[in-house]
Amino acid sequence: MKDLKMELSISDLSKYLGVTVDTIERWVRQGKLPVSGKPSDYRFRKADLEKWAAIHNIRLNFSGRESIVKKNEADVLLSQAVQNGGIHFDITGNEVKSVLKSSIERIFNIPDDFKTDLFERLIEREKAFSTGIGSGMAIPHPREPLNYLNQPLVAICFLSNPVEYHAIDHLPVSVLFLILCPSLKLHLNLLSTLSFCLKNSQFVDFLNSRPEPGILIEQIEKLQATCLV
Amino acid sequence: MSPVINCIKGFYYRLFQFDDRLLLIISGSIAGICSGLAAVALRLSLESVLEWLHPFRQYAWAFIFPAAGALLSSLFLEKIIREKAGHGVPEVISSVSRYGGLLRLRSSYSRLISSFLTIGSGGSAGPEAPVVMSGSAIGSNIAKFLQLNDRQRTTLVGCGTAGAIAAIFNAPIAGLVFAIEVILGEWKFVNIIPIAIAAVAGAQVSQSIIPENVLFTHHPFDVGFSDILPSLCLALIAALVSVLFTKALQQTGALAKKNSFPFWIRAVIGGSVVGLIGMFFPVVLGEGYHYIQSMISGGFSLGLFLSFAAVFAKILATAVTLGWGGSGGIFAPCLMIGSLTGIVFHKILFMILPDIGCASEGAYALLGMTGLVSGVMQAPLTGIFLIVEITGGYETILPLIVVSSISSTMSHYLEPASFYFKELIERGQILRPGTDERILSDLNISELIFKGYIKVSENMIFREFIEILKSSDQNFFPVVDEKTGEYKGMIEIPAIRKYALDPGMYDMIFLSQIMDTDMLTASPDNDLQEVLDMMEINNIDTLPIVDRKRFVGMISKTRILDLYRRELIMQTSIR
């Protein structure tokens, strides 16, 4: 009840009605709004306004008019995701299927029951369109998000022998970045950061030198900071 | 074809098709004459049946008359005509506001017969609303016969109404005003002329068959300045009684719907109750013109207390008659209750201030009638002109205007929807011409949909989409299932700009990964009002329209504004 006795200023009302202050002043002048106070300082009683809005079939939005902001899930940095997924060396295999299979075996964050399913999904994605992005890099990932994961992970797998991957530039691939995410949004964000990093030729050369995991993560941290800016 | 026929055809076209004023005047006057005949027929047959039944009224078993009448009337309506009982005016208004004035042919006689049975047997109701219903149905069907459009048909419905009211009250101006103020709600030049002609035609028919000048004759009243203040008080009381009457009508109607009796038992119970009330207060029975006459001319015999009780008895009897299955109008009951209220007020006034020097009892009965008519229908002009015309009491015009305006204002303040509109407003069917609701309900979603969008498949790789994007100016791309064609989601250009500017992403993502699946959608069956509410609440400008999982098109605020403006111009133009 106390709430209904509240008085609003002209700028409050302009926010609630979604029109400018000028419009409200014109409506007051034309006698279309219930108003109290002097022309220099109009006051609107909330109870009167509600009655007025009901008669004129106008929607009053006292809770403000900001559009519904889509809830932003906690963003995960690429370096964090790489730490989740791990950096693996000496992946064996001589074609796409076998390297993917042995990569999956090495990622300990994936429950064993899901490994076969994940393998099939990755192969399906490769069949649709190769994920080899050139310069010896590939980003294998499933098309659908993996609901069973609690956190996104990116596994960097260095292959012992370069493998023919049907990449864009037809070069054999020697490094795999597996992106495995519980949601589409995280996937797209990680993918976009990773794609930004891999455009940097110094970083690609650095990767080809098979760096120590600690130094690699440091390097990724530096790069992703420039990406965010 | 011979040149003569061509010439006639050209003449016809120029006279009737291109400029329909003459056509409307001629057909309007025919509607007025026909509805006038209907009104006179009902009035004469009511008079004769009342005369015929009069000798039996003294017996104790007379209370079964209203019961039998209500029974026959409800059986007739439910079984033969299959229409709802009640007075019919809301049906006419709703047909005018939503269906271009379409009314069934059988409505032109159904209410005449059912109200004849109800009122003739003593039910407390008036013959006016039934003749309004049949007059407007006659007008509507004349328009149908002549293949006229909605606007012309609506005008003819108004003509029928005006002719009916003009004939039954012998009051042409009241007919004109009622048709425009209550039924059409639109004061327009093109409406006023044919309706005025129809009102004249109706009144002329009535005068030539029943040769009398005014319905209620009286000696001239001596109304002066001292009557203004008392009439102010009377107006307030009349407003209260109007609201009470309106509420009573609604409550008994609701009560009748709640119980589980079959309609004909309900009608018998209602009729018997009215009959029993009539045993003690014979004034409540029938339309009561006879008693109104005696009140105006000063020959009314009931004392203060009995008159006071009679006000409530009449309200109760009318509410039961109409709510429980009888058929008839509230015009005559309004006049009756109003004149009783006026008389009671006058008696009390003279008891408190014996030498105030006011006009006679009859003048106050007249003012009370105005108060009730204006209050119940919330139609001040109808109240003023009707009373002036049926009593010929132009000398009372000043207090009459005061009472009418105050009573309608007060009752509007207490009960914003008048008796005629209450039900319609609840059903959302009252759409006056030129209003926002009217335009929104006329504009169809299908008229506003923008079609011709390029659809993309959810399995499309992003690079392919970028190619489509280069040669298209669409801001939205509906994503559909390749095989079934079902709508899956929407790609909004602003949301994917980030990816579109990064060629590294082109081969990495499919459209199903970047489409917005949470976007609100509307269906072609939604009202425009609902769609606008959706946009307003969620603060969005564009909505996809999806029909049975198929993408149809988009609807945008820009397009709505564009069409809304054109529609407004069309609907508010003179012709």
List, as ranges, residues 198-227 from A with C-beta within 8 Å of B: 198-199
CA distance B137 to B408: 28
Instruction: Verify whether the Cβ–Cβ distance A195 to B498 is below 8 Å.
Output: no
- Give dist(CA A94, CA A107) in Å, integer: 19
CA atoms of B51 and B46, how far apart (whole Å): 9
**Nearest CB to B505 within list A70, A129, A191:** A191
Q: List, as own/partner pairs, every contact residues B395-402 make where C-beta atoms lie below 8 angstroms and the sequence separation is at least 24, other chains included.
A: B395/B220, B395/B221, B395/B223, B396/B221, B396/B223, B396/B359, B396/B363, B396/B366, B396/B367, B398/B223, B398/B228, B399/B223, B399/B227, B399/B228, B399/B231, B399/B363, B399/B367, B400/B366, B400/B367, B400/B370, B402/B228, B402/B231, B402/B232, B402/B235
Structure tokens at B223: 């109304």
Which candidate from B504, B509, B513 shows the least CB-CB separation from A199? B504
- CA Rg value for chain B: 30
CA torsion, ordered B338, B340, B341, B347, to nearest 10 deg: 150
**Partner-chain contact B507 A70, CB within 8 Å:** no
| Calpha distance B181→B97 (Å, rounded) | 13
Give the model confidence (pLDDT) of A28-39 as tens digits. 888 888 887 777
Q: What residues of B are in contact with residue A55 (Cβ under 8 Å)?
A: 416
Mutation target vs B (from A188, A196, A198, A227; most B CBs, 10 A cutoff): A188
Residues whose CB is less than 8 angstroms from the CB of residue A1 and which lie 6 or more positions away in sequence, other chains included: none
| pLDDT category of residue A69 using cuts at 50, 70 and 90 | very low
Task: List, for residues B10-66, the tens digit of each pLDDT value.
Answer: 777 666 666 778 888 999 999 999 999 999 999 889 888 888 887 777 776 777 788
Structural domains of chain B in order of their starting residue, each with its CATH number: 3-209 (1.10.3080.10), 225-428 (1.10.3080.10), 440-572 (3.10.580.10)
Residue showing tokens 């104790």: B60
Nearest to B536 among A59, A195, A196 (CB): A59
Residue from B460, B479, B499, B509 whose CB has the most chain A CBs within 10 Å, to mutate = B509
Q: Which 3 state secondary structure label does DSSP give A44?
A: strand
Residue of B nearest to A179 (CA): B508
Q: B510: closest CA among B465, B551, B454, B453?
A: B465
Q: Largest Cα–Cα distance of chain B, in whole Å?
A: 103
A184-198 vs A78-85: helix crossing angle, rounded to 10: 100
Tokens 């004759």 correspond to what residue?
B217
Specify the pLDDT at position B446: 84
Contact between B117 and B72 under an 8 Å Cβ cutoff? The reply is yes
CA-to-CA distance for A104 and A120, rounded, in angstroms? 11
For B153, residues 6+ apart whose C-beta sits below 8 A from its C-beta are B100, B101, B102, B139, B140, B143, B144
Residue A192 to residue B499, Cβ atoms within 8 A? yes
- Residue A107: φ, ψ to 5°: -85, 110
- Is A62's pLDDT higher than 70? no
Torsion angle defined by CA atoms of residues B339, B342, B347 and B350, in that order, rounded to the nearest 10 degrees: -140
Q: Judge whether B404 and B384 are in contact, CB under 8 Å.
A: yes
Contacts of A198 in chain B (CB under 8 A): 504
The beta strands (E) that lie in B322-427 are given as none
Q: For residue A228, what pLDDT band results from cuts at 50, 70 and 90? A: low
pLDDT, tens digit only, all 575 positions of chain B: 577 888 877 777 666 666 778 888 999 999 999 999 999 999 889 888 888 887 777 776 777 788 888 888 888 887 787 777 666 788 888 888 888 888 888 888 888 888 888 888 888 888 888 899 999 999 999 999 988 888 889 999 999 999 999 999 889 999 999 999 989 888 888 889 999 999 999 999 999 988 776 677 777 787 778 888 888 999 999 999 999 999 998 888 788 777 777 878 888 888 888 888 888 888 888 778 888 888 888 777 778 888 888 889 999 988 888 888 778 888 889 999 999 999 999 889 888 887 777 778 888 888 999 999 999 988 899 989 998 888 877 788 888 999 999 999 999 888 888 888 877 777 776 777 777 778 888 888 888 888 888 889 888 888 888 888 888 888 889 999 888 888 988 988 888 888 888 877 888 888 888 888 888 888 888 888 888 888 888 888 889 999 888 899 999 988 888 888 888 888 777 65
Cα–Cα distance for residue pair B162/B175, rounded to 1 Å: 4
Query: pLDDT tens-digit profile of A151-171?
Result: 888 989 998 888 888 887 888
The pLDDT of residue A71: 47
Distance CA A70, CA B382 (A): 57
pLDDT at position A65, please? 46
Integer angstrom CA distances of residue B70 from B250, B263, B282, B368: 19, 10, 18, 29
* Distance separating the N- and C-terminal Cα atoms of chain A: 50
Distance CA B360, CA B148 (A): 51
Packing angle between helix A184-198 and helix B493-500, nearest 10 degrees? 30
Upper half-sphere CA count for residue A71 (Cβ side, 13 Å): 2
Can you state the angle between helices B21-53 and B189-209, rounded to 10 degrees? 40
Q: What pLDDT was estimated at residue A21?
A: 85
